[in-house]
Amino acid sequence: MNEVGGIDGAWIEGALLAARPRAVGALLRYFRDLDLAEEAFQDACLRALTAWPKNGPPRDPAAWLILVGRNAALDGVRRRARQAPLPEDDRLSDLEDAETPLAERLDDSHYRDDVLRLLFICCHPALPKTQQVALALRIVAGLTVAQIARAFLVTDTAMEQRITRAKAKIGKAEVPFASPDAHERAERLSAVSAMIYLVFNEGYSAGDGDYRQRLCGDAIRLGRLLLRLFPTEAEIMGLVALMLLQHSRLAARFDGAGEIVLLDDQDRGRWDGKLIAEGLALIEKALRHRQPGPYQLQAAIAALHARATRQEETDWVQIDLLYAVLERVQPSPVVTLNRAVAVSRARGPGPALAMVEPLAATLSGYFHFHGLRGALLWQLGQRDAARIAFDKAIALAQSTAEAAHIRRNLDRLLAGAEAPR
């Protein structure tokens, strides 16, 4: 291991990754130019790679990177102005002295609005969702264009263009540099939370296992950072809890062949207990506030699944109640469909089917609608109608695992078996 002064390459990489949102956010405030801020941060990272192993790690890596990045960028501006090179390395020697007062000035309350602003410009309403995610991954999480291209299954050139276009749109738009008032801050937090959850979902559904880990990990890290800066926001606790609880199932969600394993069939012994513990702790904290929002409710539902060590122990009555609240807070046919699953387990197939039938108008092109409807009809003894529903579901399946799951049901139905409950 390449270890000097008690730090190794992996430590530096981790420190740079962790400091990135705060450092780029502060540099953006100084320069009011995204490209310049990114360049300055990049410059500071390069210097860290040589300075930190030599001098030991700084007390506050983010503050160090901000100071060095700012100086490097100012040098660059002056250099371009004079067209003459300046000596570089000897001016690094007095950094340790300069770092202390800066680090003291930059406590969490200073970072707070910087990080929020940086995240917020990635969710500009003029940007389509996919561009928001790509931009956040590039600027905030620091993925390379090639990495993002692979995660989105597009070519490097296409992704480069997408990010350039997104940056151009932001460049023309008004970037809010004034400190936000309470109302604006709440609006920004809500937009930023949605964007972080988009990044998470991009990772959650990624085909490539490495990107599932990386993108979900990035989203969780941003969520934790946001929560540290806004420690009393119940919906951010809910968002982080939701991501942790969903991510805890990663190892069980795919079989050896890379096919999706559905929740009922997952080996719960492979769920990550540490992530579950953190998720449960956060949702308990959030619920004390008695301000239920969509993230908290979804996290509370995920928590009930996580608490059941066997599928049969799932508290469906409580899940039904939570979905009922979610339906009021954030009404959508998909929420109602999910609630119907809980209703079928808690109260039987009849009431569940009554809840599902009115959704036909909006969800008739949706795999899960027909899959659930088929299962309910089968349980009610309407075998022909069940068969037709299963056929429709198979035709609409998005993955071979989804299709295979329904096909297994269909085979059992055709063999004359009783419906599983």
Partner 1 sequence: MLYAILCYHEEDVVWSWSKEQDEAVMARLAEVQGPLIQAGKMGPSLRLLPTTAATTLRKTQEPPLVIDGPFAETKEQLLGFYVVDVADLKEALGIARELASANPGGAYELRPIALYNPDQRPGAA
Binding site for partner 1 (CB under 8 A): 10-11, 14-15, 17-19, 61, 213, 217, 221, 224-225, 227-228, 231-232, 237, 240, 274, 277-278, 280-282, 284-285, 288
Quote the CA–CA distance of 81 and 84 in Å, as a whole number.
8
Q: In angstroms, how far is CA 314 from the centroid of its own chain? A: 26
Positive or negative, the CA dihedral 32, 36, 42, 43 is negative
Q: How far is the CB of 341 from partner 1 (least distance, A)?
A: 26
Quote the CA–CA distance of 151 and 121 in Å, as a whole number.
22
Q: How far is the CB of 79 from partner 1 (least distance, A)?
A: 33
Q: Give 170 or 215: the residue with its C-beta nearer to partner 1.
A: 215
Q: How far is the CB of 233 from partner 1 (least distance, A)?
A: 8
Crossing angle of helices 182-204 and 108-122, in 10° steps, is: 60
Crossing angle of helices 156-172 and 145-152, in 10° steps, is: 110
Q: What residues contact residue 316 under an 8 Å CB cut-off, 6+ apart?
A: 342, 345, 346
Q: Give 167 or 247: the residue with its C-beta nearer to partner 1.
A: 247
Q: Give 222 or 340: the residue with its C-beta nearer to partner 1.
A: 222
Please answer whether residues 346 and 304 qualify as being in contact, where contact means their C-beta atoms are separated by less than 8 angstroms.
no
Q: Give 93 or 291: the residue with its C-beta nearer to partner 1.
A: 291
Quote the CA–CA distance of 15 and 52 in Å, as a whole number.
11
Q: How far is the CB of 104 from partner 1 (least distance, A)?
A: 12
Q: Give 241 or 343: the residue with its C-beta nearer to partner 1.
A: 241
Bridge partners of 4, per DSSP, are 7
Q: How far is the CB of 17 from partner 1 (least distance, A)?
A: 6
Quote the CA–CA distance of 169 and 246 in Å, as a whole number.
33
Q: Give 101 or 231: the residue with its C-beta nearer to partner 1.
A: 231
Q: How far is the CB of 386 from partner 1 (least distance, A)?
A: 41
Rounded to a whole number of angstroms, the CA Rg of the chain reads 25
SS3 293: coil
Q: How far is the CB of 18 from partner 1 (least distance, A)?
A: 4
Q: Give 176 or 217: the residue with its C-beta nearer to partner 1.
A: 217
SS3 260: strand
Quote the CA–CA distance of 279 and 303 in Å, as a whole number.
8
Please answer whether residues 385 and 377 qualify as being in contact, where contact means their C-beta atoms are separated by less than 8 angstroms.
yes
List the structure tokens of 91: 């001016």
Q: Give 275 or 419: the residue with its C-beta nearer to partner 1.
A: 275
Q: How far is the CB of 187 from partner 1 (least distance, A)?
A: 21
- For residue 353, count other CB atoms closer than 10 A to its CB: 20
